[in-house]
Structure 1
Amino acid sequence: MSDAPRPERPTIEQIREVCQPDSIRKRKNAEHWTGDVFTRSISPYLTRTFVHAGISANGVTVGMILCGWAAAAAFFIPGIAGPILAAVLAMLQMLLDASDGEVARWTRKMGPRGIFLDRFAHTTTESLIPIAIGLRLTIESSDNNWAWAFVGAVLGVLVLVNKSLNEASRMSRVESGLDLPKKTDGTSAPRVGWVATARRAANFVPIHRAYHSVEQTLVVLAIAIVGLAAGFNGVAVALILLAVAAPLVIAGHMVAILTSSMLRNPHT
């Protein structure tokens, strides 16, 4: 059906056939875990609604950007309600993230602008969340302790640094005249034995994945709930834990890239 004219009012089965091929559903590194849990099950219904309404894929992505920013802003709501709403909005962002690609595939309107907007959505959301948490803690402190805002800002920068490593490695290949690797060709896998072992071990406690928007909000929410029951400020504890772990994650990420074939010139 990929080459046939698209019906104006597609069925859910047609949406799934065209917009959720195996190349999308079986991506090991690019497909977020929420895809298997719920987004890919729900997104075709949302995608069909957008197609019926004539909303473009980029329009959906703009909604995704706003949803992510709202997730960060939700932390300004006092008490446990803020983290709960932030987690819900972060999940909704991932649902829109699934749907915008499906709209693009259905309408055959895929291009670099959509990819740019998608990456802007994730980058800004993931860095704004810790900044918002830090500001929340400053506002809540009796003496307006700006140390919390500083920690949140530093963590926001560290999140950006960690994300920039992937972009820098990809751009380094492009500017060197090399093709971008495929997700499944093993180019990004470490070639040094102990690094590969450490990377596999990290999958059992995937702290390196804790800085995506969904994971950040879920970590904060979980510790906030524990804190509510135990009588401590779980949001503050979560911010400290994420900030302490971030430099270690960045160091590991850097070593993994430098010991992989990502930056290796095959002609030398």
Structure 2
Amino acid sequence: MAGPSVAEFRAVAQPQSTMGRNSGEHWAGSLYMRKLSIYVTWFLAKTPITPNQTTWLMILTGLLAGVVLTVPGFWAAVVAALLVQLYLLLDCSDGELARWTGHTSITGVYLDRVGHYFAEAALLIGLGFRASEVLPDWYTVLGFAAALGAILIKAETDLVDVARARSGLVAATESSAEQFRSRGLGLARRAAAALKFHRLVQAVELSLIVVLAALWDALSGGLAATRVLMVACVVVAVLQTALHLVSILASRRLS
């Protein structure tokens, strides 16, 4: 008996409730990765691999990208960026496989979130070592500081649902993030969101910018571009950690 067609598979693995999310779907996923991941997931569904095993592969790929980034040279940056793309692909496929097989679980959701924490932290730490060139120095410290900021930003988001759950409330809706007690704060939040500077410390965007910095360094000699990028990541991480906390407290997410 023939298996499901890709169209039939997509209807279950990529429902509109997932594809239509405003905040939960990365722009790269919507733009191209979901178009590719459905074929990868369709193949994975014919193998013994489970959704959680796919998530573990995603986590390992994200960590490996950070390790590779510590290696000097332009091509190491390219390989790290490709690993981040594979990380994103697996991030799409684990959920698709879970929906198709019906093997969704709290463990899977937890591992998926942990994987995002690990990947972004690993990439920023790797960038710090890369900027240090040989031995750990202040750029290495900046890498760890930026990684801590990236983790705190994600924790601030996740702790909203923790606080609501402990208060007997359901998870916050996407619309509540856009509802503010003050009109001025709402305008400031929209302005900050439009600038999208927070994406500098996110894995996909950072990996691509690292490649550009590595190319500049390869052409000019030295590590000036990589080091400027490292400093910029720390500034953005610190700023976004504070702004995101204020945004949450001023919104209706905790109401």
| TM-score for the superposition, normalised by structure 2 | 0.93
Q: In the alignment, what sits opposite 1:103?
A: 97
Q: In the alignment, what sits opposite 2:113?
A: 119
Matching residue within 188, 198, 223 for 2:177: 188
Q: In the alignment, what sits opposite 1:218?
A: 208
Q: State the 1:151 CA deviation.
A: 1.1
1:149 and 2:143 correspond? no
Take 2:147 and 2:184, find their aligned partners in 1: how far apart are those partners?
30
- Structure 2 counterpart of 1:118, which letter? D
Q: In the alignment, what sits opposite 1:136?
A: 130
Poorly superposed stretches of 4+, deviation over 3 Å: 226-232
- Secondary structure of 1:78's partner? coil
Take 1:11 and 1:69, find their aligned partners in 2: how far apart are those partners?
34
1:38 and 2:50 correspond? no
- Structure 1 counterpart of 2:72, which letter? P
- Structure 2 counterpart of 1:208, which letter? H
- Secondary structure of 1:187's partner? helix
Count how many residue pairs are aligned between Structure 1 and Structure 2. 253
- Structure 1 counterpart of 2:233, which letter? L
Query: What's the CA shift string for 1:48-102, capped at 9, x where partnerless?
Result: 1111112111111111111101111111222111221111111111111111111
Take 2:153 and 2:172, find their aligned partners in 1: how far apart are those partners?
20
Task: Assess, with a 3 A threshold, how the Cα gap between structure 1 residues 40 and 262 changes in structure 2: closer, same or farther.
Answer: same
Q: State the 1:118 CA deviation.
A: 0.5
- Structure 1 counterpart of 2:103, which letter? K
Percent of aligned pairs with the same residue? 32
Take 1:172 and 1:82, find their aligned partners in 2: how far apart are those partners?
41
Unpaired runs of at least 5, structure 1: 1-6
Q: In the alignment, what sits opposite 1:64?
A: 58
Take 1:56 and 1:116, find their aligned partners in 2: how far apart are those partners?
15
1:171 and 2:162 correspond? yes
Take 1:105 and 1:145, find their aligned partners in 2: how far apart are those partners?
44
1:21 and 2:11 correspond? no
Take 2:185 and 2:209, find their aligned partners in 1: how far apart are those partners?
26
Give the structure with the higher percent helix. Answer: 2
- Secondary structure of 2:88's partner? helix
Q: State the 1:224 CA deviation.
A: 2.7
Query: What's the CA shift string for 1:99-125, capped at 9, x where partnerless?
Result: 111110110110101001111111111
Unpaired runs of at least 5, structure 2: none
- Structure 2 counterpart of 1:28, which letter? N
Take 1:253 and 1:34, find their aligned partners in 2: how far apart are those partners?
22
Contact 2:124 2:147 in 1 (8 A): yes
Q: In the alignment, what sits opposite 2:6?
A: 12
Task: Assess, with a 3 A threshold, how the Cα gap between structure 1 residues 195 and 253 changes in structure 2: closer, same or farther.
Answer: same
Task: Assess, with a 3 A threshold, how the Cα gap between structure 1 residues 154 and 21 changes in structure 2: closer, same or farther.
Answer: same
Matching residue within 242, 251, 255 for 1:251: 242
- Secondary structure of 2:45's partner? helix
Q: In the alignment, what sits opposite 2:41?
A: 47
1:207 and 2:188 correspond? no
